[in-house]
Structure 1
Amino acid sequence: MGDGYEARLSPRWRRALLLLATVLVSPAFWLGTTGLPAAPARVCAIVLAVGQVAALWWLDRAPRPVTAGILLAGAALQLLVPGFGPGLAFVVLCTFAWARPAGESLWALGAAIVAVCGPAAIQGRWLLAAGWLAASLLAWSWGALGRARAARQEWERRRAVLEERGRIARELHDVLAHTVSVMVVQAAAADDVFELNPAQARAAIRRTETAGREALAELRTFLRTVRDGDEAHDASPQPGLAGVEQLAATMSGAGLAVTVRREGDGEPPAGVQLGAYRIVQEALTNTLRHSGARTADVLVRITGTAVEVEVCDDGNGGAGSTPGNGIRGMRERAALLNGALTAEPGPDGGFRVRARLPLGSAHLSKGDA
């Protein structure tokens, strides 16, 4: 089973590996040979050495056959040229352990031990064979550790990308879902009374225009944040608990009568206020879109340790029966602030969203705002 990391040699490292391999096999061109007449033995040694270097070009593209071929050629060279060392075998083993998962590269470790220790054992040089064994273990460990570190860095990079995508998706949803929902409701209301009550229709259209302008302003601010980074974002005012009343008024204009109650005093950190505001905003948006409710109650409670919000409606209680981006985004916001959120049908009907956001978690919210 792989670790999801695909290792590839860069052109620079490929050239460096070929240069190192050329240096390591060069002794085969002049060291004394054995087992064959001098001329054929020298030709065989040169062919084996050149073949090892040439095969390295495809090491990360076809690691198994290339590794097996180089180890086999290296063993033959050690038998043919007694003074030749298995330095290239260690380089290949280390590279293979880096290129492939540890579970897969174990066979290469075993093959390398046989290839580098076998010739020395056949020649009765047991101390040398022990040294080659230790070098093989070290080369494999070095490559495996290098792969583990590279895989971890790749995983952290991918996680950062996914977290940023999630943040952008959550912010876009928060910015657009509420105002677009209000615009849809107002447009539908204007259409219903367009002929019977033109003044009411014009009022609904004006509210639609206002909601659209607010959505564009928030979208511009968000896009500037994404483009320019945290400094631009920090310079832009963010909604907080003081904006809940205005949010309720907007919902009331869209046909959902919202009552806001606030308990406790104090000025919670901006990050916690933003999280609480977004949760209330999304809960009311879900109520407007899905529940068929006529009224909703919002409770904001500030204690010495947390901000607690509760949104209840008198709808059909099905706003959270199929969790979507809204409820998932609310839970993610609460989790990022070390808080907790529940979204479920209320005990007396309707739907209820409750969240508790600890005050001490404000430092976590900067990247999420």
Structure 2
Amino acid sequence: MRDRYAAVLPSWWRAVSGACALGAAGAVPFVDAGWPARGAVVALLLVQGTAAGWLMRDRPGAALAVTAAAGAGIQALAPEVGPGILFVVLCAFAWLRPARTSLWGMGAAGAATAAVAAAQGRMVVVWPVAALLAWSWGALGRAEAARRHAEARRAAVEERARIGRELHDVLSHTVSVMVVQAAAADDVFDANPGLARRAVRNLEAEGRQALAELRHFLRSVRDADGGEADGSVPGLGDLDRLAASVTGAGLRVRIQREGMAGVRVPSGAGLAVYRIVQEALTNALRHARAGRADVVLRYADGRLDVDVRDDGPGALTAPGSTASGGTGLAGSGQGIAGMRERALLLGGTFEAGPDPDGGFRVRASLPVGEAT
């Protein structure tokens, strides 16, 4: 897999580079006994290597090349000091560049120092090993930083997906019901003002409910802990209200509960069930031309099964949707995917498609634990 991580050296890098150069410079006075100018040349090479190290954040390749030359010169003139700053820069280079690039730098650094050591009759293997260790440290640091970056990015993507699912489910259902109620009010406005007023009141109630859910959702987004402790998250207890809302818009809904007595469903699973039922009923209302929908909740062996069936003849599914029929989500193509994601995130299963007996059927099974 190609390494696309864009690493940046931390702000303390230059301080570390300078400290290493100063540490090496402390040995310079002890290397000039045989040749007085040698200490000055070594000091200049240290300054050159340090200056190149400071440019590592902007020009890492050039900085490593200059430092390698300086390190080889220091090794040749003052083996007592050694090319330590080169290995510090090599470590930073391995942090900044992918392995396929930084390996060339490691090879060049090891070869340069080993060639000088060989010319001096010293042990050749020491410096290539030191180069390998310096490169490994930087490469491991890069890998760890890349992992943290990928995790943070994945968390952000998942959060955006969660926000998108919630907004879609809240707004899609509410706006659909409001549109149906507004159309009904307009149809009977002159012939039956009382019925029109009732439709308008239902429209107002749906709008208020949507605002309440949106306010809670925005609080949960702002709250780092999820903000679900106030009990305003919709769940199984809100399904009857949901059914009444959809029934008022023209789709008769019947809810059956089997084996649910004494079952305590976690809030996350309850929210998922509510949203799945809400989306299925919304699509039956909007797209299926259905007159009736049956919702069955069944608990058995630690799992909660949800079964939603409508009696619609089915509507053509919009391009990009994964199913056809009543809840085929004509026009958006997102609802079925959102329901499936909710079920799979909780370790459950999900199916949606035309029912052989007619209409459209949505089924989900979620693990909820043993009944208490």
Q: Structure 2: which 5+ residue stretches go unaligned?
A: 315-324
Question: Could you tell me which residue of structure 2 aligns to residue 320 of structure 1?
Answer: 328
Question: How does the TM-score come out when normalised to structure 1?
Answer: 0.87
Aligned equivalents of 2:225, 2:53: Cα separation in 1: 46
Going from structure 1 to structure 2, the CA distance change for 1:69 and 1:355 (only over 3 Å counts) comes to same
Cα shift readout 1:256-294 (whole Å, capped 9, x = no counterpart) = 122222222332323323321221111111222222322
Going from structure 1 to structure 2, the CA distance change for 1:66 and 1:264 (only over 3 Å counts) comes to same
Aligned equivalents of 2:284, 2:136: Cα separation in 1: 58
Select which of 261, 265, 279 maps to 1:282: 279
Give yes or no for the alignment of 1:112 onto 2:104: no
Please give the residue correspondences for 1:27-176 in structure 2 after superposition, counting only pairs within 5 Å.
27-28=27-28, 31-32=31-32, 39=37, 44-125=41-122, 127=123, 129-176=124-171
- Amino acid paired to 1:301: R
Runs of 4+ in 1 over 6 A off after TM superposition: none
Shift of 1:170: 2.1
Conserved 8 A contact 1:33-1:82: no
Select which of 333, 342, 356 maps to 2:351: 342
Question: Could you tell me which residue of structure 2 aligns to residue 180 of structure 1?
Answer: 175
Question: Could you tell me which residue of structure 2 aligns to residue 365 of structure 1?
Answer: none
- Amino acid paired to 2:179: V
Cα shift readout 1:132-164 (whole Å, capped 9, x = no counterpart) = 222122111111111111111222222222222
Cα shift readout 1:339-367 (whole Å, capped 9, x = no counterpart) = 011122222342211000112399xxxxx
User: For 1:14, what is the secondary structure of its paired residue?
Assistant: helix
Q: Compare the two structures and name the one with the higher helix fraction.
A: 1
Question: Could you tell me which residue of structure 1 aligns to residue 260 of structure 2?
Answer: 265
Select which of 218, 226, 230 maps to 2:221: 226
User: For 2:233, what is the secondary structure of its paired residue?
Assistant: coil
Give the number of equivalent residue pairs: 357
Question: Could you tell me which residue of structure 1 aligns to residue 319 of structure 2?
Answer: none
Question: Could you tell me which residue of structure 1 aligns to residue 320 of structure 2?
Answer: none
Cα shift readout 1:275-326 (whole Å, capped 9, x = no counterpart) = 2122111111122222232222212112132111111123311633777332
Fraction of identical pairs, as percent: 53
Which of 17-26 and 72-81 deviates more?
Answer: 17-26
Cα shift readout 1:68-88 (whole Å, capped 9, x = no counterpart) = 221122112322334330101
Aligned equivalents of 1:121, 1:11: Cα separation in 2: 37
Select which of 179, 188, 206 maps to 1:193: 188
- Amino acid paired to 2:32: G
User: For 1:234, what is the secondary structure of its paired residue?
Assistant: coil
Going from structure 1 to structure 2, the CA distance change for 1:361 and 1:166 (only over 3 Å counts) comes to farther
Conserved 8 A contact 1:300-1:307: yes
